Amino acid sequence: MRGARIDRVELRRADLRRPFPAGFANRLQGRRVRAVDRRGKYLLVPLDSGDTLLMHLGMSGSFRVDRRGSRRAGSGALTIDRHDHVVFTLSNGAVVTFNDPRRFGLMDLIGDALLVEHRPLEQMGPEPLAAGFDAAALAAACAGKRVSLKVALLDQRVVAGVGNIYASEALHAAQLSPLRRAATIATVAGRPRASAVRLAAAIKIVLRAAIDRKARRDHDARFRVYEREGDPCRRRGCRGVIRRIVQAGRSTFYCPICQR
């Protein structure tokens, strides 16, 4: 999409999680895409009009990119799925289709001046793979928090987009119990303890490893703890067995022996 002009926008329904903004398709058509960025789990597409197309995949949303002229055999038309809700036709010949069976995704158009005040973005913490995210930032965000460490990692104000799976994985890598209070990784003054140093490093390691596996399409790689309830712990020398508990409505997997 970067650098292309949006020639046509087809809305196959009036809403996703919420209705599309007034004049959504008309405000997009004829505009050129300046960039394609991301903040947390939001996709940000700034346009030459000064608006930004803000999108969220929800739980089941995905994009498919076709080339104009790719046809379903014998039909004379682009392949269409009943869950294809928004279709962007671009000047470079690409057709970008948003598919969302459960319709929890969203799309909005926000002026540049208002984007910095957009509440979900304004309150979002640092990106976990950004240089600005380190043990000091993590400790400062967790200082004084009475919630569990696992629940704190799912708080977008603490760190953006770690997610449930990799919170469990990072805590295991850092040998920290998901049940311990978040404030314990910081001193009274909000400075990082050794546990914060380990956890910040572990978050970066498990996310980079996951991205690398995805790039290599290594679908057989198993998690160390996630969805491994009842399996032996994979840490060398540990005789623990992985347990599953529920925290804030989400499944947590951990080893009660090596995670303290």
Q: Report the length, in residues, of the chain.
A: 260
Helix (H) or strand (E) holding 256, with range, is none
Q: What percent of the chain lies above the pLDDT cut of 90?
A: 83
Note the pLDDT of residue 122: 86
In 3D, which of 39, 11, 1, 165 has the Cα closest to residue 100? 11
Helix (H) or strand (E) holding 138, with range, is helix 135-142
Note the pLDDT of residue 161: 86
Residue range 44-52: average pLDDT?
96
Amino acid found at 188 = V
Give 213's Cβ-side CA count (13 Å radius): 12
Q: Of the ranges 28-37, 64-73, 101-110, 186-195, which one carries the lowest mean pLDDT score?
A: 64-73
Cα angle value 243/249/250 (rounded, 5°): 50
pTM of the full predicted structure?
A: 0.82
In 3D, which of 221, 220, 243 has the Cα closest to residue 172? 243
| Separation CA 174–CA 193 (nearest Å) | 13
Higher pLDDT, 69 or 144: 144
Give the model confidence (pLDDT) of 208-220 as tens digits: 999 998 877 766 5
Q: Is the pLDDT of residue 75 over 50?
A: no
Split at pLDDT 50, 70, 90, the class of 72 is very low
In 3D, which of 41, 37, 38 has the Cα closest to residue 166? 41
Note the pLDDT of residue 219: 60
Q: Is the pLDDT of residue 195 over 90?
A: yes
Q: Is the pLDDT of residue 88 over 60?
A: yes
- The per-residue pLDDT of the chain, averaged, comes to 93
Domains delineated in the chain: 6-122 (3.20.190.10), 135-254 (1.10.8.50)
Give the model confidence (pLDDT) of 95-133 as tens digits: 999 999 999 999 999 987 778 778 788 889 999 999 999
Residue range 153-174: average pLDDT?
96
What is the Cα 162 distance to its own chain's centre? 7
Note the pLDDT of residue 218: 67
Note the pLDDT of residue 74: 38
Note the pLDDT of residue 114: 79
Note the pLDDT of residue 179: 98
Q: What is the 3-state secondary structure (H, E, C) of 212-228?
A: HHHHCCCCCCCCCCCCC
In 3D, which of 193, 136, 128 has the Cα closest to residue 167? 128
